[in-house]
Amino acid sequence: MTTRPTGDDLLSVFTRADLGGDQKLDLMEFTMVLDELGLAWSRAETQDRFEKADANLDGFISYEEFRAILESEGWAGGSLPGTHA
């Protein structure tokens, strides 16, 4: 059954990956999120996305930044790749 990610799902994924519980993701945590979402990126691509997502350049991805990068790439709101079954 295909379920499309809602904001709550994204928050859930974000919270699970946020091992430090500080409401932001470092590069390692961000990589875990991508893995959980079934997005297979190379390390270089992941780093590139991370740097793009980090809008305020503090070295971490906040939930807002996380949402923004997912939306900009078209994953939030129901267009995750369907191949991850």
CB closer to Ca ion, 19 vs 40: 19
Contact positions vs Ca ion (CB under 5 A)? 54, 56, 58, 60
CB closer to Ca ion, 41 vs 63: 63
CB of 71 to Ca ion, least distance (A): 16
Instruction: State the Cα–Cα distance between residues 57 and 79, nearest whole angstrom.
Output: 27
**Run of H or E including 62:** strand 61-62
CB closer to Ca ion, 15 vs 79: 15
CB of 62 to Ca ion, least distance (A): 5
Closest by Cα among 75, 74, 82, 76 to 2: 82
CB of 20 to Ca ion, least distance (A): 14
